[in-house]
Structure 1
């Protein structure tokens, strides 16, 4: 696996063998959900201009105002004595003053093999699968294709500021293995698992219940909990699994501690009607999963546009989350997700690119499309709510808030450095901003991969923009 070189700023190792880095920038993260309230009233926003972030190995050691120099502070960790701070002062500082330093983005629903079909023309969900997705996924039976696809996919995520993801591979075991191998090699938090699909799919994309179970158990035993990897029982969607396979999937989810479950639900009205025909005894599409034990606190269900109040009550009771996929919903014409309604009814909501139905791996683009979907329904999504959902909120929904999603001592250094403006128009707009939210909202709306300066995963540079100085 070829990786970008480590940052040229890294000093030598400490006696413990861990490398140290000092980043200096304007920090922005969140300590609470800002909610759907006016920006000036939003709680939980933490903006720390001109601060230093001290990183040792893969973790953040301290966050300190640059104005304090290297003198001890009352809230410093106990290990940061005056002599230790003097040693930190000798680490070459990576000076990004004027730039934003944020936690890396967390994409809670994305398809690795669908980079092959991103930006394909002219179909809704079910035709999309048959015309584009399934033919592309069939190629991943070849381990070499899976390996190349996984490397290309992770590099593409880092180049958009995404440091963690919940990922669909294909039905082939080797496609999940390739993702686990490449992510584990760099200690990137990844949630994935072999897709379960034993009907209503073409030759070369169907498994069977017994072999699928053996493959999943083997992947769990080899990868789950190792090097920040987590296994997800991955049901493609209800129509592609027989009742027997869904029962088996529920047993896997219930029988292996800490595993996730990922699937699709209520994305498209034709899909919802089809599920009702295939499972006539189920109360709803969501009930197909719930009755087999697939809905729990680690369940990630993409879309959820066409759910009812009872469905949302089930999600609330179990602590499951909807991975809102706005770009995909717009591109495929699936519908408009009512985010404030879901939140009012206690449903956890995260954000997802859903590439290739979505048209970009950029979470900035995803947040921009989420704003448009809510605006069409009379709601206003603030930059604070969007950014919280793509960082600390997603980490909390995934049960990983003690690992990532904020810029705090003890958490892993999954971080991104951004230019607020990347061209003349954006710089002009930034100069006219009268508040922090106005600046950040303009960056979110106008920004793209040109704004990204550097991506760190577990303290190591995995993407760096050329001529970033």
Structure 2
């Protein structure tokens, strides 16, 4: 039996299904010395080692961000007319800088600081094409203490010469990173990362799918983000029925694959995502910023596709889950409780981590965020009203503390 290490006191709230709010108004969470929740309930236990009292504050599951870009941290807010223009004007040039180890380390460190400052305990993110920069990103994630899924971007076609890779070398580098980092400490994982179809050969896509199955790792990429991108993919790969069909027939889709955006889809493409149990990262802030279009949330739900929220930094200007939920509302008009579900358990399910995180209950790991809503709304008001205020008015200033496995990594 593990020893009790920590007791957290506060207003405990989680979101076990879409639209459902589970609340213990005056509750406690008991965490053992391995960082797992051993008890949760109302009142306070009598025996205790350490009590951290967050009376008047909310204790929520840690937020889960299932799509972001480490090297694009300093490229946020740079205007372009659309996705392809933005990549060519700013992003490819920005990512070239990560040839320099000092830049890779400094930016990666700040990236994870920002993640934690916004209450995010788990993040899935792309690095650059550089093996060393990706290794450094893992080192910085390990040092930060959070849960991270990271992949070295692969680009072997239709790319700037300074980023274009040899197919064999791209996969060799990725496999070496898998062997070093995947599963480390039970919180660092690898995602094979072909950037998107526009910068990939069929061979790269096919071999990515094969490697993902062989090594049992994630795949992350982009799918149908902008109309111009979709047209280009159709022109480049005319023997396939659609963008999604290309990914399906090359083995990219599957239960551990996360497709960012997935906006411009035909019904048959939704069917392929459903059939393969592929997950979707909804990136509302980035979609608005680049005028990419509106993801059809209703169809995603109708087809039973699992999705979570992604900041998509740097097309997304901010990490804040509150601001992302706000953007999601403006695009889809969902309730605050449903939005919070996608930002927590929805993301955990998309990453197949819902047995470990996403809700607050005994047996799960103690990943949670402490939120102080007092400058927005009285903390003793109904939870529905507080969630609404957080979604429409909240930002990083309401984040009091961020915990992973019972360790406070940010705040007080």
> What do the CA deviations read for 1:393-442 (whole angstroms, capped 9, x no partner)?
211221111111111122111111001232xxx237x78x6x43122111
| CA distance in 2 between partners of 1:198 and 1:116 (Å) | 25
Select 2:355's aligned residue among 379, 402, 407: 402
**Which structure would you say has the larger RCO, counting Cα contacts within 8 Å and 6 or more residues apart?**
2
1:209–1:248: 8 Å Cα contact kept in structure 2?
Answer: no
Answering whether residue 30 of structure 2 is matched by residue 54 of structure 1, we say yes
| CA distance in 1 between partners of 2:194 and 2:347 (Å) | 21
Aligned position for 1:451: 398
Aligned position for 1:33: 18
1:427-466 correspondence runs (5 A): 427=377, 435-464=382-411
Length-normalised TM-score, structure 1: 0.84
SS of 1:390's equivalent in the other structure is: helix
> What do the CA deviations read for 1:192-241 (whole angstroms, capped 9, x no partner)?
11111012222321111111111111111111111211111101000101
> What do the CA deviations read for 1:225-281 (whole angstroms, capped 9, x no partner)?
112111111010001011221122122122212x11100011100110000010000
Aligned position for 1:7: none
Answering whether residue 207 of structure 2 is matched by residue 248 of structure 1, we say yes
2:227–2:292: 8 Å Cα contact kept in structure 1?
Answer: yes
1:54–1:63: 8 Å Cα contact kept in structure 2?
Answer: yes
| CA distance in 1 between partners of 2:405 and 2:144 (Å) | 8
Aligned position for 1:238: 197
Answering whether residue 114 of structure 2 is matched by residue 114 of structure 1, we say no
Select 1:342's aligned residue among 294, 300, 310: 300
SS of 1:427's equivalent in the other structure is: coil
| CA distance in 2 between partners of 1:311 and 1:286 (Å) | 6
Aligned position for 1:328: 286
* Residue 19 of structure 1, CA deviation: 7.6
* Residue 187 of structure 1, CA deviation: 4.3
How big is the alpha-carbon RMSD for the aligned residues of Structure 1 and Structure 2? Answer: 1.7
* Residue 312 of structure 1, CA deviation: 0.5
1:414–1:456: 8 Å Cα contact kept in structure 2?
Answer: yes
* Residue 62 of structure 1, CA deviation: 1.2
Select 2:140's aligned residue among 182, 190, 207: 182
Gap regions ≥5 residues in structure 1: 1-14, 35-43, 71-84, 375-379
State which structure, 1 or 2, has the greater radius of gyration over its C-alpha atoms.
1
| CA distance in 1 between partners of 2:374 and 2:336 (Å) | 16
Q: Which runs of 4+ in 1 moved over 4 A?
A: none
| CA distance in 1 between partners of 2:102 and 2:136 (Å) | 9
Aligned position for 2:343: 390
> How many residues are matched?
410
> What do the CA deviations read for 1:291-318 (whole angstroms, capped 9, x no partner)?
1111000110000110111100111111
| CA distance in 2 between partners of 1:272 and 1:166 (Å) | 24
> What do the CA deviations read for 1:17-67 (whole angstroms, capped 9, x no partner)?
x78221110011122233xxxxxxxxx42111111111223222211212x
